[in-house]
Every structure is written in structure tokens, then in C-alpha cells.
């Protein structure tokens, strides 16, 4: 039997795809053959243009995912625009940094709500549709902090640890219904979220010294893993958290 990484005839929804990892994933899914809907607050002009350049359909869904209020509308608009939904990539996320002893409730709630609560309920809404059809792929974006504690980012560490747990919990219940749920844990990737770290000379040096690959990751480094997990090639992979980290966790 031929192994297929093709997404021809598939439809995907990617959250937070205006820049960085989400943008790279959305474009890679389109290059693999999928029509793609993207949901988020910012206008994703560049991403829409890149998807269109592949010849695939692009649908823009305006939604503030800091709460679960727009969740069902996002799924409904994706289905209306694409006609089906085979893949959900939960990429939208935020980070707040502060010393542990003064970390605020507002920063805690903002990160947990966006990175964990909305992720779960958007997955739930998508899974209802996928389970009814008997197939689907849900891909959550976790983090190295799914495995580690980090420094000055307690709510982010809590949320991403939760993403790992929710991924496994969803996989257990949805696998019998033909839906695979997995996560990608990016390492230190050069995106807007890591600007503060890269601009800190000491932290930047310390991070690079630990990465066996010897460089910061690029958003495109995550895209290949996403295409694999979205494709038929990963039909027997579920409940897995795939680290794409240049070897960070191995050291």
C-alpha cells in the first residue's frame, strides 16, 4: 500500500495563522493539497495570498479566540466556506512574562483562556463534526513547556502542560470514532513570541548552547510535522506529542 502525505480533497482550519508557525502550517497544508480556513483577530493578508498562490481555496474567519464565545461560529463558517472539515490545527496562543512572586491573575487567566480553554472547546466543536463523518485530524500546538517548567511564564507552562493532557484525553475518546488527536511541541522557534528571548544576549546564548542543531528553529520547521499529522500517513498515530526542537530535549 502506498503511503500518502497528500491532502488533496481535504479541508483544514488553522487558528492564529497571520504570522509565524500558524502561517507556515497553513501554507504547507495548502501546498499539500488542502483548502484552508484561517481564524484569528489580525488580518492575515500575507497568509491568504500565499494560500491562493498554491491554487487552493482560502477562507478568512475573523474571531477573537481569547474566549469561547466565537467557537461554534468559527466551525460553522469553516464548514460553510470549505464544505467540509478534515483537519483542525489549534495554533492560536499568547504568552505573558513576569516574576513568579508578582504574576497577576489577569495574566494567568488570559493565557489559560486562550491557550487551553478555547483550544479544548474548539476541538470539541470540530470533533462533533468529524466523529459524525467517521474521520478527522486534530493537531494541537504544545511546547517544550509541556515537558518543562520554564522561567517567568507560569501560566504558559500550565496551559501547555494542559495541552499535552487534553491531547491524550481527546485521543482516547476520539480514536474509536476515526479521529486522531496529536500535538506538536515546537522548540525555540524564531517568532514574535520569542523576540524577548532572542534580544536578551545572555538567554539567547544559553539557549543556543543547549540546542544540538546549533540554531533557532524556523516556523517552516514545524510545517512538515503538521503535514504528516494531517495526512493519511499518520492514521495510526494518536495521543502523541511530537517535539520538533533541534534536539533540545535530548540534551
- Please tell me the distance from the alpha carbon of residue 38 to that of residue 19, in angstroms, as a whole number: 11
Domain boundaries, the chain: 11-243
Mean pLDDT in residue range 197-223: 96
> Would the pLDDT of 207 be above 70?
yes
More confident residue, 24 or 191: 24
DSSP-derived pairing of the beta strands 136-141 and 87-90: parallel
Q: What is the pLDDT of residue 59?
A: 98
Mean pLDDT in residue range 41-50: 96
Q: pTM surpassing 0.95?
A: yes
In 3-state terms the chain splits into helix, strand, coil percentages (rounded to 5) of 50, 15, 35
244 beta partners? 186
Predicted confidence (pLDDT) per residue in 156-190, tens digit = 999 999 999 999 999 999 999 999 999 999 999 99
- Please tell me the distance from the alpha carbon of residue 13 to that of residue 143, in angstroms, as a whole number: 20
Mean pLDDT in residue range 127-148: 98
Q: What is the pLDDT of residue 2?
A: 77
185 beta partners? 243
Mean pLDDT in residue range 65-88: 98
Q: What is the pLDDT of residue 161?
A: 98
- Looking at domain 11-243, its CATH class is alpha beta
Distance of CA 22 to the CA centre of its chain: 7
Q: Is residue 180 exposed (0-12), middle (13-18) or buried (19+ Cβ within 10 Å)?
A: buried
In the chain, what percentage of residues exceed pLDDT 70?
100
Q: What is the pLDDT of residue 1?
A: 63
DSSP string, 27-87: HHHHHTT-EEEEEESS--HHHHHHHHHTT--EEEEE--TTSSTTHHHHHHHHHHHHS---E
Active site (catalytic) residues: 156
Q: What is the mean pLDDT of the chain?
A: 97
241 beta partners? 183
Mean pLDDT in residue range 127-152: 97
Amino acid at each position: 500500500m502506498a503511503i500518502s502525505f497528500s491532502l488533496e480533497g481535504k479541508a483544514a482550519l488553522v487558528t492564529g495563522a497571520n504570522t509565524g508557525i500558524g502561517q507556515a502550517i497553513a501554507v504547507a497544508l495548502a501546498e499539500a493539497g488542502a483548502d484552508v480556513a484561517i481564524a484569528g483577530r489580525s488580518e492575515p493578508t500575507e497568509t491568504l495570498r500565499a494560500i491562493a498562490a498554491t491554487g487552493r481555496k482560502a477562507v478568512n474567519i475573523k474571531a477573537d479566540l481569547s474566549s469561547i464565545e466565537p467557537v461554534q461560529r468559527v466551525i460553522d463558517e469553516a464548514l460553510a466556506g470549505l464544505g467540509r472539515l478534515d483537519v483542525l490545527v489549534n495554533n492560536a496562543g499568547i504568552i505573558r512574562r513576569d516574576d513568579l512572586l508578582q504574576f497577576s491573575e489577569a495574566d494567568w487567566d488570559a493565557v489559560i483562556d486562550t491557550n487551553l480553554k478555547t483550544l479544548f472547546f474548539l476541538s470539541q466543536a470540530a470533533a462533533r463534526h468529524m466523529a459524525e463523518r467517521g474521520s478527522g485530524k486534530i493537531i494541537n500546538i504544545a511546547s517544550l513547556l509541556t515537558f518543562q517548567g520554564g522561567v517567568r511564564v507560569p501560566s504558559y507552562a500550565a496551559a501547555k502542560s494542559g495541552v499535552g493532557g487534553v491531547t491524550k484525553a481527546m485521543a482516547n475518546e476520539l480514536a474509536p470514532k476515526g479521529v486522531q488527536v496529536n500535538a506538536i511541541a515546537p522548540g525555540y522557534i524564531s517568532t514574535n513570541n520569542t523576540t524577548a528571548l532572542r534580544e536578551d544576549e545572555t538567554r539567547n546564548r544559553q539557549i543556543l548552547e543547549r540546542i544540538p542543531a546549533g540554531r533557532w528553529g524556523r516556523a517552516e520547521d514545524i510545517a512538515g510535522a503538521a503535514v504528516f499529522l494531517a495526512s493519511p500517513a499518520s492514521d495510526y498515530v494518536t495521543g502523541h506529542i511530537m517535539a520538533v526542537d533541534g534536539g533540545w530535549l535530548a540534551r
